Amino acid sequence: MIDRKTLGILILLVLAMTATAIWRLSQLPDWTQVTFPGPNGARTKHGLILFFIPACTLFMIAVPWAKKWLFTGPHDAIQAHQRSGRLVLLGTGAILAVSQAFMIARSMWLGLSVDAQMLSRGTLIVSAVLVIMRGNSLPKLPWLSARFPAHQLDAWQQARIRRFAGRLSIAYGLAMIAVAATLPVPTMVVAVLATAPAYVAVNAWYGHRLRREPSHLTQA
């Protein structure tokens, strides 16, 4: 869930990131080709790569926005969900903004003294800490009613899925830290991107399993 203030801040970030990407491309003789400094000289990438991070930020906004549409509940419960997600959303937004600034600077062959690998590892570790914090607070969130009956879970089932998701998030966050500390950067990126859908799938499977179980609340 996302509140208006957080949504406004993130949309401003997306606009700023998109504007810098357009500005950078407007300076190039051929907008389809951007060169970055690499360990073995220049590497050429398609110009659209500068829009990758703003697109990621938009996706990040879309997920809690969709959740706001899919679930409903008392005002207090919705506010609790919004408060809980605010830090992660703003923290991730800030990480993405720094990454975009770094990418633009590198496309201009600036900031060469900054160790890109260390920055990537640091970024992943900060993201992992945010995932762990979010995971820890998930079981505390109040029950919300789903708009579609197929997604409906009672309070106990939702509490169980949040506990499961919380533990999984913490395990995932710790794994991200281990990956950031040990693996080479390209492998690290692949490992994180490959396991993220698995994380979503496992949560979805657990929710599906819970829906087939009888409710304890009706028996209590």
The residues binding another protein (CB under 8 A) are 135-140, 142, 155-156, 159, 163, 166-167, 170, 216-217, 219-220
Q: How far is the CB of 60 from another protein (least distance, A)?
A: 23
Residue number with CB closer to another protein (67 or 167)? 167
Q: How far is the CB of 167 from another protein (least distance, A)?
A: 6
Residue number with CB closer to another protein (115 or 213)? 213
Strand partners of residue 72:
145
Q: How far is the CB of 48 from another protein (least distance, A)?
A: 39
Residue number with CB closer to another protein (10 or 176)? 176
Q: Residue 192: which region, alpha, beta or left (left: phi > 0; alpha: psi -120 to 50)?
A: alpha
Residue number with CB closer to another protein (47 or 139)? 139
Q: How far is the CB of 154 from another protein (least distance, A)?
A: 10
Which residues have CB under 8 Å from 77's CB, separation 6+? 142, 143, 144
